[in-house]
Amino acid sequence: MSWSIESKEVNHNDFLTEESLFFLGNGYLGVRGNFEEGYQENDKTIRGTYINAFYDEVEIKYGEKLYGFPNTQQKMLNIIDSQSVQIWLDGEKFSLFQGEVLDYQRMLRMDKGYSERMVHWKSPKGREIKIWFKRLVSFVRKEVFVQEVKVEPLTEIKEISINSVLDSDVANFSDPDDPRLASAHEKLLSVKDVYEKSGCQIAIAETLETKLSVCCASRTFLDREDYEYSHKIKDKKIEESYSLSGNKNVTFTKHNIYMDSLRYNENLGDQAFNLHQGIADDRFEDFLKEQIQYLDDFWKTSDIRIEGDTKLQQGIRFNMFHLLQSVGKDSMSNISAKGLSGEGYEGHYFWDTEIYMFPVFLMTNPQIAKNLLLHRYSILDKARQRAKEMGHQKGALFPWRTITGGESSAFFPAGTAQYHINADIAYSYVQYYLVSKDEEFMKKEMAEVMFETARLWLDAGHFYKEQFRINSVTGPDEYTCIVNNNYYTNVMAKYNLLWAVKVYNRLNSDDPESLSSLMKELNLKEQEVCEWEKAAETMFLPHNEELKIDEQDDTFLTKELWDLSSTPKEKFPLLLNYHPLVLYRHQVCKQADTVLAHFLLEDFTDRETIENSYNYYEKITTHDSSLSYCVFSIMASKLGYRDKAYNYFSKTSRLDLENIHGNTKDGLHMANMGGTWMGIVYGFAGLRIKEAGIHFSPILPEEWDALEFNITYDKRLINVYLTKGKVTYTLKAGQGVNIFHQGIETSLELGIPKEKETESPIYTSY
Amino acid sequence: MSWSIESKEVNHNDFLTEESLFFLGNGYLGVRGNFEEGYQENDKTIRGTYINAFYDEVEIKYGEKLYGFPNTQQKMLNIIDSQSVQIWLDGEKFSLFQGEVLDYQRMLRMDKGYSERMVHWKSPKGREIKIWFKRLVSFVRKEVFVQEVKVEPLTEIKEISINSVLDSDVANFSDPDDPRLASAHEKLLSVKDVYEKSGCQIAIAETLETKLSVCCASRTFLDREDYEYSHKIKDKKIEESYSLSGNKNVTFTKHNIYMDSLRYNENLGDQAFNLHQGIADDRFEDFLKEQIQYLDDFWKTSDIRIEGDTKLQQGIRFNMFHLLQSVGKDSMSNISAKGLSGEGYEGHYFWDTEIYMFPVFLMTNPQIAKNLLLHRYSILDKARQRAKEMGHQKGALFPWRTITGGESSAFFPAGTAQYHINADIAYSYVQYYLVSKDEEFMKKEMAEVMFETARLWLDAGHFYKEQFRINSVTGPDEYTCIVNNNYYTNVMAKYNLLWAVKVYNRLNSDDPESLSSLMKELNLKEQEVCEWEKAAETMFLPHNEELKIDEQDDTFLTKELWDLSSTPKEKFPLLLNYHPLVLYRHQVCKQADTVLAHFLLEDFTDRETIENSYNYYEKITTHDSSLSYCVFSIMASKLGYRDKAYNYFSKTSRLDLENIHGNTKDGLHMANMGGTWMGIVYGFAGLRIKEAGIHFSPILPEEWDALEFNITYDKRLINVYLTKGKVTYTLKAGQGVNIFHQGIETSLELGIPKEKETESPIYTSY
């Protein structure tokens, strides 16, 4: 079961959640797991199809609007719906909500990349059939969503009708009962053209403000020829109808091709039509074949095997699969907070990418990782413009939430004020460089991003009594907003600045010409680089001597402690039950903040501080954010708190599968999915990426028999196999390389397993 | 000219500003100075009539809405318009925008309480007339707005028509060109009934959400009988028409009676009709007579005489007059930020009342002052409820902006976070008590307010290392929001707590029974009082030893200094040109904050600190708030900076008359008007109210010959007359009393002037 998830019951309360869990996507296109035949009137459904980064701009309303507040917000749109297929048996419509469901099984196959739903159904009048709905969003041909419906009559049926619908009259989801979803902006796509061309049903729609176009072209096939066919266009819908005798099985196939003007410019209808020509002879099994091939390749490097815990095994595979389904692979898009699985967070990209999801791809699919960085690079100009709006003389300020670069955050204390996103992006560039050794990339894109982010810090902070300080920002913990010298922000900025200087120095010695041309382009002076260095060296990192912990910000510890133990359960998450000022004036954390900094940059502090800080902040952290558990798990691994490491990990790995946060219906928690992977690779295996090379400090959780995964590192593939008390590193591809095991350098040769002891939970200071 | 303001030109650019400057009101009713005959289509006008506290609730829109953000906002409504009167001469309509204006004069009489507009006009076809428009909003009969229009034909005119309109189809002002005024909520009043009854034209309308009713009943009169009369009701308008021969003068009078359901409950139409019966025989001169009587009484105690500066003399009278016109006198209302002169700030009441306007009434019209406190008392229950919403276990939290008690602030960092309003209100209660010695009031309303506000501080702050600290609030300076230990907030809270304890102790010894019953009602424990005392005594007041100044908050001085001298002029006010985060991370102040605290509570710090603080904060204060100059003037007086005191004062006294902030059109700056008075009485005359009695420390500005004013104090009237180097105190009414002159106690006997030297700008520590 660990390669699939299944559902065997028709349970109304699970519909919405399953729509997210069973969604299919390929990073470009995402289709929620809605029922082809539709729902009852009273069942809530979020019927959705999305293209990554396909968006419109909507006005943000403010009770009081101040300078620099964004006027508009980007919003990922629900696009043309091609999912609908209805079956009629002698005039009785197939529905899960009438007649009798004799057998039911729904399955998502993570190894093969498709989903299937089997229903054994008896109609109110006694007609009996089995139906298999299969669907697949192709990883190989990203525009393609294929559906197959096979009907097997089990009793006498005179006529089977199959109705296929292409519906352009769609809107984004809104829920008048939930103020967070009762958006006024649900209808943002206007239909431009709906027509038929040589058996292709084509619909083209345009966004209201951004004037982007999207096209869906559908083509349907039967495996029988004894049918009557009709076709009509009405109210922005195209309906095709097949009628045929019910005396034998029939298989219906629907090819849906999606294209958008962001990637395909103009004449989308013609382009889609042409694409259809190339796949007209293919059927579901053909697409499946290449899908399996693609996924075999993926799992070969990306699978994590857990021996001894099937549920967690399933959880991690489920998470990896959905990450793959959601990640934008074309450098024109990124991974939104809910991936392509739902509309929560409006399809926006956050720091979640860099800190929680990028590492997964960095260590398994470096090309995807690079494209994520390139997407950020593509919005650098807008970040420069935003920096100006935000009163900065120089540099770039990346938006807290965005699709194509415009700041889309409507509440700046927990939005724009999170300047740390700049350092998070810079951090991911450094990580990529350390893993890929991609010098060309470093010289151009990386250098530019490092320089522009470094400049921003110089402008945002200032020197005070020989220290560099950064005031009035918000760290990752949104339960304390607008603070001075947030430890996380400052230490990440320090790293950002240090690396800007390093990149400068490297270029200066390796390729002074390209440096000089970049400096000219950016109007960058050498003096600035000296200031970066000085700022980095004198960066103020708040530390409390009494408690021997790093302070979340320079006054955090003077605030009143929140008594979590006597807070009633129903008061969580706190942000839904307390005014922000109540949270701000207490020591209480939504998520890891200083602890996260200690994970990302352990070298700027000492073990005692890390341990004390962990223990201190753990007591006041609510984990109201899904980004929290994994960090606490990783750091518990580091500190040798094995129970904690395992317990926190368990909470992350099945967060969506068990709908732990109660809002999986709005989409999957993608960052948490990345966090699961990190909990294993950075946590249990203790991976750290440093200039000197990659480090491991592994310990297998006691609950497991073995753990195995691969990582890619500088054109190599390294297999890590952990059993009780032992780890085996095997270089599976690429040239021999040195790695660090528990701080000690060790060499790997191609194909020769290297075994090491992993006894005793020790602390390793690299 | 100091008793009036005048306008002698028809200048389109001044129309809007003059509508505010020439507004008439009585604290209950306010009518903007609109032209009776209307405007050209392209001229912007804010045609407005308002009843203090007559409001509707409108939804507040948020891009991101968090817990405790108010759902709705109260809004003062523009009500039924009775201003319109049109004159036709043989079919030619009188208009300032056609024909020729041969002479024009507009005047507001502050001594007599009415306004007049004279136009000598020649029609396009050569007909010539003089018209006098007079209007008056009665201080004596608060429901009454009277208009008189006298027409004098100067050439041959066959027929004069006078059209009088009562228009219920009104809306609040919105301006699509100005996002701050482009409200979606302009139309909030729906007409319920429009009818005629025995010569009375009656319109009744209702608010959309709050379902409050308002009625306007008009009755018109001519001084001639040779007319034809007609009357029609159409589209929510009532039009009356008089036609008569143009061979002689005619005077038209219109009585408009306004009543609202907040004060008059039901059957407003009948009540207004009955009221009309009582004034049917009165004409403009009759109303004027009693108006003058009322104002004579007012000016007798409230006038400030400046010898040697007519412009400032005019300024201060203008300000005093408008304060009187705007202040709610019925304890069901208060003074909104723009009074009844316009719609800016939605008719909301702020801390402006307590800190900038209440003192004027306290020292000149104690009954009005008391009613302002009673208004706050009337919303104490809502403040208790708000405290709960804001997560407090006990106490009351007054809303930052409100009409009837609901928090109406849509941006909490510069709204709800200004907890200091609680202490400001408590402060004004103490001031009232010290001036009035009103023991009954102290026992009931004051005690309750002091206890509930004190409780709030205990809950909002906490003890940290033996100090009481208040985190995550915003002080008066909105250029640094959500800070810890704002000096102003903390010192005001300290005073609040100290006085809560004092009131407790006084009641405990003087009237233990009423104390015990109040404690029971509030479920107040003695232990709480001990905590108030401890919190007050250990209150943390941030002080910087190096600079020897009090710190605005506990990290303010670690921030980067804003370089005001190199900030371009067009970048002011800063809040319209910089994102809040830019302001927050700099040392830059919108207005006096610590300096204001030093004015209100000078006894909690020393002279050196006050002087250093003044000099420090002055350099970084933009005075972008109209509440700033007066405080700097007062404190400059205190510190002997005579030029500064005078210069800051000059800027306050004519702020609206010269439209210095450029937005007088939206209404007058009422707090600044109170500030002018304070600049004189607290500034030049050095008044302070202390437990030991009232203190003066006067110095006449060098630019003036003399200054004279009265104050009321504990049922006495004291005249203060300042000339160069000399002050004369005369007790004009009441029993003998001791006052302090430059720190030295001196006794006053009824009618016996006491002369004192005022040489040398000395500092007095009382």
Handedness of CA B659, B665, B666, B671 (dihedral sign): positive
Can you give the pLDDT at residue B177?
60
Proportion of chain B above pLDDT 90, given as a percent: 93
Cα–Cα distance for residue pair A623/A620, rounded to 1 Å:
9
Has residue B402 got a pLDDT over 80?
yes
Cα–Cα distance for residue pair B263/B373, rounded to 1 Å:
18
Q: What is the pTM of this model?
A: 0.95
Which phi and psi (to 5°) does residue B225 adopt?
-115, -5
Nearest CA in chain B to A72: B63
Can you give the pLDDT at residue A334?
98
User: Hey, what are A312's tokens?
Assistant: 């967690």
Candidate from B65, B389, B409 with C-beta closest to A179: B65
Cβ pair B460, B503 in contact under 8 A? no
Please indicate whether residue A110 or residue B660 has the higher confidence score (pLDDT): A110
A146-182 pLDDT per residue, tens: 999 999 999 999 999 999 999 998 888 877 665 555 4
Has residue B179 got a pLDDT over 70?
no
Catalytic-role residue among B128, B478, B528, B618: B478
CA atoms within 13 A on the CB side of B294: 21
A519-571 pLDDT per residue, tens: 999 999 999 999 999 999 999 999 999 999 999 999 999 999 999 999 999 99
Q: Do A62 and B555 touch (CB under 8 A)?
A: no
Query: What residues of chain B lie within 8 A of the CB of A578, using their CB?
Result: 67-68, 391
In a mutational test of the B interface, the residue from A60, A64, A350, A459 whose CB has the highest number of chain B CBs within 10 Å is: A64
Whole-number Cα distances in Å, A84 to A12, A43, A190, A218, A706: 19, 16, 20, 11, 44
Cα–Cα distance for residue pair A544/A38, rounded to 1 Å:
59
Can you give the pLDDT at residue A181?
58
B728-766 pLDDT per residue, tens: 999 999 999 999 999 999 999 999 999 999 965 544 443
Query: What residues of chain A lie within 8 A of the CB of B64, using their CB?
Result: 409-411, 414-415
Nearest CA in chain A to B410: A63
Q: Do A412 and B554 touch (CB under 8 A)?
A: no
Rounded to an integer, the average pLDDT of A707-731 is: 97
Can you give the pLDDT at residue B41?
84
B718-735 pLDDT per residue, tens: 999 999 999 999 999 999
Has residue B19 got a pLDDT over 80?
yes
Candidate from A61, A484, A559 with C-beta closest to B62: A61
Q: Do B484 and A559 touch (CB under 8 A)?
A: yes
- Name the CA dihedral angle for B264, B269, B274, B279, rounded to a multiple of 10 degrees: 90
Whole-number Cα distances in Å, A323 to A357, A403, A421, A577, B591: 8, 18, 21, 31, 51
Cβ pair B671, B349 in contact under 8 A? no
Angle at the Cα of B442 from the Cα atoms of B438 and B447, rounded to 5 degrees: 170
CA atoms within 13 A on the CB side of A665: 15
CA atoms within 13 A on the CB side of B547: 18
Has residue A765 got a pLDDT over 70?
no
Q: Do B579 and A484 touch (CB under 8 A)?
A: no
Has residue B621 got a pLDDT over 80?
yes
Average pLDDT of chain B to the nearest whole number: 95
Q: Which neighbouring-strand residues pair with A214?
A: A205, A260
Q: Which neighbouring-strand residues pair with A731?
A: A718, A750
Q: Which residue shows structure tokens 């007066």?
A: B630
Can you give the pLDDT at residue A766?
39
Can you give the pLDDT at residue B764?
46
Taking CB atoms and an 8 Å cut-off, how many pairs form between chains A and B?
A: 153
A578-625 pLDDT per residue, tens: 999 999 999 999 999 999 999 999 999 999 999 999 999 999 999 999
- 8-state DSSP, B522: H
Q: Do B484 and A460 touch (CB under 8 A)?
A: no
Rounded to an integer, the average pLDDT of A110-128 is: 98
In angstroms, the separation between the Cα of residue B263 and the nearest Cα of chain A is 30
Which phi and psi (to 5°) does residue A557 adopt?
-75, -10
Query: What residues of chain A lie within 8 A of the CB of B409, using their CB?
Result: 64
Q: Do B579 and A66 touch (CB under 8 A)?
A: yes
Has residue A631 got a pLDDT over 80?
yes
B604-614 pLDDT per residue, tens: 999 999 999 99
Query: What residues of chain A lie within 8 A of the CB of B417, using their CB?
Result: 581
Q: Which neighbouring-strand residues pair with A239?
A: A165, A232
Q: Do B581 and A482 touch (CB under 8 A)?
A: yes
Q: CB-based contacts of B208: which residues, under 8 Å, 6+ apart?
A: B56, B188, B189, B190
Can you give the pLDDT at residue A764?
46
- A35-57 burial: b if 16+ Cβ within 10 Å, else e: bbbbbeeeeebbbbbbbbbbbbb
Q: Do A64 and B471 touch (CB under 8 A)?
A: no
Handedness of CA B208, B211, B212, B217 (dihedral sign): positive
User: Hey, what are B422's tokens?
Assistant: 């609680």
Cβ pair A61, B62 in contact under 8 A? yes
What is the rounded radius of gyration, in angstroms, for the C-alpha atoms of chain A? 27
Largest CA distance in chain B: 89
Average pLDDT of chain A to the nearest whole number: 95
Query: What residues of chain A lie within 8 A of the CB of B179, using their CB?
Result: 65
Cβ pair B404, B334 in contact under 8 A? no
Q: Which neighbouring-strand residues pair with B688?
A: B695
The yes-or-no answer on residue B478 being catalytic is yes
Cβ pair A138, A114 in contact under 8 A? no
- Name the CA dihedral angle for B28, B29, B33, B34, rounded to a multiple of 10 degrees: 160
Has residue A470 got a pLDDT over 60?
yes
In a mutational test of the A interface, the residue from B555, B561, B577, B587 whose CB has the highest number of chain A CBs within 10 Å is: B555
Nearest CA in chain B to A67: B579
In angstroms, the separation between the Cα of residue B627 and the nearest Cα of chain A is 20
B662-682 pLDDT per residue, tens: 999 999 999 999 999 999 999
Q: Which residue, among A728, A758, A487, A724, has the nearest Cα to A640 in the 3D structure?
A: A758
Query: What residues of chain B lie within 8 A of the CB of A464, using their CB?
Result: 558-560
Candidate from B180, B482, B560 with C-beta closest to A584: B482
- 8-state DSSP, B402: B
Can you give the pLDDT at residue A183?
57
- When pLDDT is cut at 50, 70 and 90, the band that residue A676 belongs to is very high
- 8-state DSSP, B94: P
ipTM of the complex: 0.95
